[in-house]
Amino acid sequence: MSSAMRIVNGKVYDPINKIDGETRDICIEDGRIVESIPDDASRIDAQGMVIMPGAVDIHCHIAGQKVNSGRKLMPEDHKRDPHPGTPYTRSGSGGILPSTFATGYRYATLGYTTAMEAAIPPLSSRHALEELDDTPVIDKGFYVLLGNNIFLQKLLKEGRHEEFRQAVAWWMNAAKAYTPKLVNPGGDEPWKGKRNTNVSDIDEKSNGISPRQIIEAFINAVTAMGFPTPPHIHCNNLGHSGNYLTTLETMRTAGDQRAHIAHIQFNSYGGEIGKNPSSKAAEIVEYINQHPNITCDVGQVMFGKAAIMTADAPLAYVLRGISKNKWVNADTECESGCGIVPFTYQEHVYTHTMQWAIGLELFLLSEDPWRVILSTDHPNGGSFMNYPKLVRLLMDKSFRREEIARVNQKAIAKTALNDLEREYTLNEIAIITRAGPARALGLRNKGHLGPGADADITIYDEMENKEMMFNAPRYVIKSGVPIISNHEFKNDHSGRLLHIAPEYDQKIEETIKPFFEDYYSIEFDNYPVNDSYLHDHEVISTGPLSS
């Protein structure tokens, strides 16, 4: 098969290259986008269609031990939703937590070609890498959980900041990860060790260190080492009423350095702890609008089935009391915690409606779509399969009205949602699903269609109903390979692992090793993931100059 291809007559939305709906030719050669190719190359006629870069999911949970535990916890969910194979693709099971194969193919059927798994403890990275390798079509990477790492906290308490930086770099290499993820930093250890306690304030010290010190140290270290994306932070007090103050403090801690706040909707609640939340979306968005160093993804809640899946073990413990359903809790040695609770968001419930409305408010009040990125924190706010519906909610005011009429009116009355008239344009959708996340992640070859970019392209039929439009792209091209054409799978593709390999001083291993021998269940030498687990992969460059 010739690897050159020309897409003609389509309306191109490519915000990074400032192309907003112009009709242009896109040329592909050897898996990349190029300026021009010979005229006799194969063509796709995209008359009446919209061409966008392949979408990038900046925050989802699609691999690792917690996802697998969730799969095992919910067999009834798989039974309802088999995922049949095709002559080109493998079968799997669907539901809120699809099997690896189904995950890759289902992302592709929505036009997504990159997804980042958001929380893997280093101990589970080997497992995650193997699962990601089995997730077809999409390029993927993962963030590694370091915010509750006892050894790193010990270095910070002793003020050994240079060694801390080296250790973070070592851990990124050991896990083959993309960036550090901080989940309720400083909160898991007290919960594990002191009978269901948690830190309730960013300055509250537990074991001699406060969340603010941890967050600050990570932001400083990651900035100094020039990682492509800042640490992704799941703030303290997530899910609790009144937590917007913690979120604001977390963002202030970053100063003018870059920080990414994950699923910020879950962190934008006013009110008193233990009582019903109110919306503080306006306050949060105002801060983000004024501070270009902050990026966030929304973590929109969508009504229906979901699965709470978090390294924030104390939060999962609270939620299991609400759902009164089966749940899983796990302790990951010296590194993290974990909780999984199957959950259903219901329209008539005040809190669920409030969460849904806050997410939409965040989108609609944001002045810079580049920094407020679309996500549902799959599967925490709902499956990624809800993205087309979410896009329609943002683009279609009258549809939004209809949906608002169906939910808890007491909650809606306390939000500004009814007054928000904004409708996203196709260009802005291309920003919040493609260009924005690619830029926030520092992926220079993703999220745009300029020469040199990866040939990850989605072609949609232009339709009035945006949910239908984004639900069924006519063509999906991954690395120049037409995976879906005319709505049918025509090829399979393995996708690449995206990771970083920052340099570090080998001497740091001598500092880390004794700690392993004293406290870990596995030998130090067996802990780092070796290169044989990297199949098709790409190292994203780091260093002070790359930022």
- CB 326 to other proteins: min, Å: 8
30-59 positions binding other proteins, by CB under 8 A: none
- The DSSP letter of residue 148 is T
Of the two residues 341 and 500, which places its CB atom closer to other proteins in the complex?
341
The smaller minimum CB distance to other proteins, of residues 77 and 467, is found at: 77
* Residues 377/263, Cβ–Cβ less than 8 Å: yes
Select 73 or 316, whichever has its Cβ closest to other proteins. Answer: 73
Tokens representing 424 are 């996203």
Contact between 499 and 539 (Cβ < 8 Å): yes
Write down the least CB distance from residue 98 to other proteins, Å: 16
76 binds other proteins (CB under 8 A): yes
Minimum CB separation of residue 104 from other proteins in Å reads 23
For residue 330, how far is the Cα from the chain centroid?
A: 22
Footprint (CB under 8 A) of other proteins, residues 297-356: 325
Least distance in angstroms from the C-beta of 491 to other proteins: 24
- Mention every residue, 6+ apart, whose C-beta is less than 8 A from residue 39: none
Q: Between residues 101 and 356, which has the closer beta carbon with respect to other proteins?
A: 101
CA distance 300 to 20: 26
Stretch of 74-82, 195-203, 370-378, 519-527 contacting other proteins, by CB under 8 A: 74-82
Interface of this chain with other proteins, residues 120 to 179, rule: CB under 8 A: none
The minimum distance between CB 102 and other proteins, in angstroms, equals 17
| Residue closer to other proteins, measured from CB, 83 or 371 | 83
Do the beta carbons of residue 356 and residue 302 sit within 8 Å? yes
Instruction: Give the nearer residue to other proteins in terms of CB position, either 93 or 247.
Output: 93
How far apart are CB 95 and other proteins at their closest, in Å? 10
Question: CB of 332: closest distance to other proteins in angstroms?
Answer: 25
Residue (197 or 344) nearer to other proteins, CB: 344
Strand, coil or helix: 255: coil
Q: Which is nearer to other proteins, 7 or 340 (CB)?
A: 340
| C-beta separation of 427 from 15 below 8 A | yes
- Nearest to 281, CA basis, from 238, 316, 251, 247: 247
Q: How far is the CB of 327 from other proteins (least distance, A)?
A: 13
Query: Could you tell me where the DSSP H helices lie in 382-520?
Result: 387-395, 397-406, 409-413, 426-430, 436-441, 466-471, 508-519
Strand 5-14 to 42-45 pairing = parallel
Of 72 and 410, nearer to other proteins (C-beta) is 72
Supply 382's token pair.
């709902």
326-357 burial, b at 16+ Cβ within 10 Å, e below that, comes to ebbbbebebbbbbbbbbbebeeebbbbbbbbb
- Minimum Å gap between C-beta 72 and other proteins is 9
CA triple 276-360-364, angle to 5 deg: 130
Q: How many helices (H) and strands (E) does the chain have?
A: 19, 26
Q: How far apart are CA 293 and CA 161, in angstroms?
A: 23
- Tell me which stretch binds other proteins (CB under 8 A): 70-78, 214-222, 229-237, 433-441: 70-78
**C-alpha span between 56 and 446 (Å, rounded):** 8
Residue 454, token pair as written in the block: 């990866």
Least spacing, CB of residue 323 vs other proteins, in Å:
11
HEC profile for 97-115? CCCHHHHHHHHHHCCEEEE
Comparing CB distances to other proteins, the nearer of 207 and 344 is 344
- Is residue 86 within the footprint of other proteins (CB under 8 A)? no
Least distance in angstroms from the C-beta of 331 to other proteins? 24
Q: Which of residues 251-280 bind other proteins (CB under 8 A)?
A: none
Between 43 and 79, whose beta carbon lies closer to other proteins? 79
Stretch that binds other proteins, among 14-22, 69-77, 311-319, 403-411 (CB under 8 A): 69-77
Q: Of 205 and 305, which has the nearer Cβ to other proteins? A: 305
Of the residues 42, 48, 79, 526, which one makes contact with other proteins according to CB under 8 A: 79
Among 57, 77, 361, 467, binds other proteins (CB under 8 A): 77
Binding segment (CB under 8 A) for other proteins, from list 57-65, 75-83, 265-273, 314-322: 75-83
Q: What is the dihedral of CA 96, 102, 104, 110, to 10 degrees?
A: -70
3-state class (DSSP) for residue 221 = helix
Q: How far apart are CA 460 and CA 471, in angstroms?
A: 9
**Residues touching other proteins, count (CB under 8 A):** 7
Say which DSSP state 264 is in.
G
Instruction: Determine if 71 is a binding residue for other proteins (CB under 8 A).
Output: no
Find the binder of other proteins among 49, 74, 354, 390 (CB under 8 A): 74
Instruction: Give me the least distance between CB of 329 and other proteins, in Å please.
Output: 18
Rounded to a whole number of angstroms, the minimum distance from the CB of residue 76 to other proteins is 4
Choice from 12, 44, 63, 73 touching other proteins (CB under 8 A): 73
How far, in Å, CA of 208 to CA of 213, rounded? 10
CB atoms within 10 A of CB 109: 18
CB of 74 to other proteins, least distance (A): 6
Of 73-81, 410-418, 500-508, 536-544: span binding other proteins (CB under 8 A): 73-81
CA distances from 194 to 187, 190, 198 (A): 11, 5, 9
Contact with other proteins (CB under 8 A): which of 38, 75, 292, 514? 75
Which positions touch other proteins (CB under 8 A)? 73-77, 79, 325
